[in-house]
Amino acid sequence: MQDNSRIHLSVVIPAYNEEQRLPRTLDDVLSYLANQPYKSEVIVADDGSTDDTAKIVQSRAGGAVPLRLVQHADGRNHGKGAAVRRGMMEATGEYRLFMDADNSTTINHVEQFWPLFNEGYNVVIGSRGLKDSIIPVKQPWYRRLSGNIGNLIIRGLAVPGVHDTQAGFKMFTETCAKDVFPRLTIDRWGFDIEILAVARSLNYRIKEVPIKWVNDPNSKVKASAYLEVFGEVWRVRRNLRSGVYR
């Protein structure tokens, strides 16, 4: 039975210099949550932005849905993984979702996730790699090729059976989030892989769900990030073998 006195869903949005894309995403998320029957909160994890990201968050605080800004103590950029980890550990919800600031996958996708948590899954992740996934605006061919090669390597070395580790729409039970996120070691692009590898190593159940994902042509993910991820896959594999996460 749901405890109506508690936050049911926490939504964490990592942000680095997102003054252009964040307003639309926040408006969409806050509007959706305000119309749900459960309590919720939104946390923007500012990863050392030097633009007006923080001001945008503060200007929208005080509405029907609690909105908080969290920042690194040193004010520096540490990486998306570090921002997500900070936000998820600050969250208080019984369920905790992180999603991208560009709104490439919209908040209403959580409606597909609830039945799976009721079935006993601990982690439900949005996937672009399933048959029913919808990608109306595709990435350039070279990014798709890099992503496909990367997914094969990731599946082979770290998380077998997961078709898409990198989509920025992942949701966790409170118990799982509290157990997994403090163990993470990767601050940048490979953090998604580490999350799933750690969750699986701790025997949490993971389910992939097809999503609609709209590629943003202004994506901040550089081609060099794919090479960085490959190196971090080996790091995750080494940590798994040496028992670092336990």
Cross-strand partners of 208: 125
Query: Cα(173)–Cα(117) distance, rounded to whole angstroms?
Result: 8
Query: Considering only CA atoms, which of 96, 159, 87, 98 is closest in space to residue 122?
Result: 96
Q: Are 210 and 111 in contact (CB under 8 A)?
A: no
- Decide: helix, strand or coil at residue 89: helix
pLDDT, one tens digit for every residue, the chain (246 residues)? 556 789 999 999 999 999 999 999 999 999 999 999 999 999 999 999 999 999 999 999 999 999 999 999 999 999 999 999 999 999 999 999 999 999 999 999 999 999 999 999 999 999 998 999 998 866 665 566 556 666 666 766 668 788 899 899 999 999 999 999 999 999 998 899 999 999 999 999 999 999 999 977 665 555 556 667 778 888 999 999 999 998
In this prediction the pTM is: 0.90
- Cα 34 → chain centroid: 21
Cross-strand partners of 184: none
What pLDDT does 216 receive?
A: 75
- Decide: helix, strand or coil at residue 58: helix
What pLDDT does 44 receive?
A: 98
What pLDDT does 149 receive?
A: 60
Cβ count within 10 A of residue 6: 12
Cβ count within 10 A of residue 210: 18
